[in-house]
Chain A
Amino acid sequence: MSDVNTTIRSVLETQGRLPVPALSLKDDDDLYENGLSSHASVNVMLALEDAFDIEFPDSLLRKGTFESVATIRGALETLGVSAAAN
């Protein structure tokens, strides 16, 4: 049983194509400054949808949503994903 942050980092590790390990990032670290491309952020979004069985609405399909682990978690919370989900 893993928590939301762990799942987010796992998805970032497999889909984010980051030059640094996702586990080494702090919650507020800027993912784009750490090498996340816009293109990869879309793959991250789709993989998060699969992981949490949710769908990001158009209003959240923007770069700012995937700026950090914290902003991703915030977006997931608005979609009903609780801290202990998954």
Chain B
Amino acid sequence: MTQFGERYTRRLFTDHEIECCGENPVTAAPGLAARFAAKEAVLKILDSTSRVPPWKSIEIQRESRGAPKIVLRFEAADLAHEQGIENISLSLSHGGGIASAVVVAQVAELDSESPS
């Protein structure tokens, strides 16, 4: 962010994500770093080795009560659907120069027994 400034944030983050973290790059950096960690974690969950969705197709939104949630669009949404992912829970943390994200996906239970 120091080197490329707004060019960096605009390429990785949606307008909503940038708005949530604020305009000041110094105070916005920890929140954006945590959101980047969340996007990266979602990419790993989607196991997208052959089809890798764009960064902005994974958006971290802030709900009215303040909790973060993940919204998938386009290719990311398609991959999640194909893998039976029904819900993704997210926790963000940042402080002391470190940002992290924990992402847990709930997968639909496969119906292994066909009705007789």
B8 touches A46 (CB 8 A): yes
Interchain CB contact under 8 A, A62 and B36:
no
What's the tally of chain A residues with a CB closer than 8 Å to chain B? 14
Interchain CA distance A58-B53 in the complex, whole Å: 10
> How many interface contacts (CB-CB < 8 Å) are there between A and B?
33
Given contacts A61-B11, A62-B54, contact A43 B4 (CB under 8 A): yes
Q: Please report the C-alpha to C-alpha distance between residue A76 and residue B95 in the assembled complex, in whole angstroms.
A: 38
Q: Are A42 and B8 in contact (CB under 8 A)?
A: yes
- Of residues 23 through 44 on chain A, the ones whose CB sits less than 8 Å from some CB of chain B are 38-39, 42-43
The 19 sampled A-B contact pairs (Cβ below 8 Å) are A38-B36, A38-B43, A39-B36, A42-B11, A43-B3, A43-B8, A45-B11, A46-B3, A46-B8, A49-B7, A58-B54, A61-B11, A61-B12, A61-B56, A62-B52, A62-B54, A62-B55, A63-B52, A64-B52
Residues of A within 8 A of B (CB): 38-39, 42-43, 45-46, 49, 56, 58-59, 61-64
Contacts A49-B7, A61-B11 known; 15 new A-B pairs at CB < 8 A: A38-B36, A38-B43, A43-B3, A43-B4, A43-B8, A46-B7, A46-B8, A58-B54, A58-B56, A59-B54, A62-B52, A62-B53, A62-B54, A63-B43, A63-B52
